[in-house]
Amino acid sequence: MRRTFSIRLAENDDAAAVTAVLKASYPKLMASAYDPQLLQRALPFITRAHPILLASGTYYVAQAESALVGCGGWSFEKPGTEEKTIGVGHVRHFATSAAWVGLGIARSIYASCQEQARAAGVTRFECYSTLNGELFYAALGFTRMEQIELPMGPDIVLPAIHMSKAI
């Protein structure tokens, strides 16, 4: 049976469904890349929808029948700040439900982000990839800039990869 999905802009009402995708995806897909204790402490900070992203008009979801199976977007603001650099966009909070990985969902969401960002004057995307996500972003043409440590909460730092791509 062929699995089909469509991509649309997220809405505020999608918060619970986006959180469900993040909670179903991140623990499984990140398990091979991170220490289990670190992951357990970091997950509560990264597995919830961000209302600002949902309302931004630059965050997308993948809809399959009656369920969301993927999400992701971009912003002008550097994650965790209000800092903006002319021409630079930041890829944000991508996830695909584990059962739907490999079917082109994240690529489709990324394509929507890139098209919208180009139209808005963005010429370069940056992202903070999880360690397990680096190969996905590399396949999209991103290059590794440096390994970084992202503060997730009190005494929680998640290793990540700062990546960049001209769009």
**Domain residue extents for the chain:** 6-122
pLDDT at 8 over 60: yes
Mean pLDDT of the 32-50 span: 95
Mean pLDDT of the 135-164 span: 95
Q: Give the pLDDT of residue 37.
A: 95
* Banded model confidence at residue 50, pLDDT cuts 50, 70, 90: very high
- Long-range contacts, 96-104 (Cβ 8 Å, 24+): 96/21, 96/25, 96/62, 96/69, 96/70, 97/21, 97/24, 97/25, 97/69, 97/70, 98/24, 98/25, 98/28, 98/29, 99/69, 100/3, 100/5, 100/62, 100/64, 100/69, 100/70, 101/29, 103/3, 103/5
Strands 124-130 and 88-96, bridge-based pairing: parallel
> In Å, what is the CA distance from 35 to each residue of 26, 47, 88, 118?
13, 17, 32, 37
* Banded model confidence at residue 154, pLDDT cuts 50, 70, 90: confident
In the numeric block, the tokens 């996905």 are attached to 136
* Banded model confidence at residue 2, pLDDT cuts 50, 70, 90: low
pLDDT at 135 over 70: yes
Q: Give the pLDDT of residue 1.
A: 54
Mean pLDDT of the 20-48 span: 95
In the numeric block, the tokens 């043409």 are attached to 141
pLDDT at 23 over 70: yes
* Banded model confidence at residue 166, pLDDT cuts 50, 70, 90: very high
Q: Does domain 6-122 have CATH number 3.40.630.30?
A: yes
